[in-house]
Amino acid sequence: MTSLSQIRPINLREQVVEQIRTAIIEGRLKPNDHITENILTEQLGVSRTPIREALILLEREGLVIAAPNRGCFVRAFTEQDVSEIFSMRTTLENFAGELIIHTLTTTDFDYLDSSIQLQKKAIRQGDLKSVRTIDMAFHRYLINKSKHVMLIRNWEEIVAQIAAVLYLRAEAISDYDESQSINDHTAIVEAYEHRDFERLSHLNRQINLRVASECKRGVAYSLLG
């Protein structure tokens, strides 16, 4: 009898987390929306257990707020939240830069350059979802090169929040120039190539301050709705 590959069990909780997370990040679930377990069980076709487990994880990610005796709601970010998210991102990315700036190889720079080219292509095609996915993958690559477990874990904990407020930015600034991230990434790669940590840390601060300011416009816009 032909040998068969072992079937791996599907983790329902992770699938539910991904569905709800994506709905929040893409704005299908909006700030302050009540997340009702009954509706989710019907829409996703699962029991309440993976729903509840998923909501606990999403609360840890900072996307969901659990209110006693009221249930769970999509987090409504404030301007202070945005400031904290991007100041933390700056700190983590500069720490990663300090660890890896003298260790990146030609292979690493080839990857980063190819990422920039992929992002340019996605922008030309108007594929904004891919633009943001590639953008985050660029930064994740640099963070992961640090091989610093706690640094990576802390960065991953704010990734979903970054994605959520970037969506709010897109809602508020309909004509936002996505090519700005190409300029940002190009400058970051050049700083790494020159092993110039002072330049890199300055870029990370300035870029994150600018993006935070843009996202605050998105937060203000979402509160009006």
Instruction: Read off the pTM.
Output: 0.87
Residues 62 and 94 in one domain: no
Q: Is residue 207 part of a domain?
A: yes
Tell me the three state secondary structure of residue 65. strand
Q: pLDDT per residue over 153-168, tens digit each?
A: 999 989 999 999 998 8
Give the CA distances from residue 196 to residues 94, 102, 143, 160, in Å, rounded to whole numbers and listed in that order: 12, 9, 17, 29
Residues 124 and 31 in one domain: no
Q: How many structural domains is the chain composed of?
A: 2
Domain final residue pick, 24, 50, 74: 74
Give the side-chain half-sphere CA count within 13 A for 54.
24
Residue 11: the pLDDT is: 81
d(CA 152, CA 175): 33
Domain residues for 30? 12-74
User: Rg of the chain over CA atoms, in angstroms?
Assistant: 19
Pairwise pLDDT comparison (13 vs 120), residue with the higher score = 120
Residue 223: the pLDDT is: 75
Say if CB 79 and CB 216 are below 8 A apart. Answer: yes
Q: At residue 136, what is the residue type?
A: M
Give me the percent of the chain exceeding a pLDDT of 90: 68
Q: Is residue 5 part of a domain?
A: no
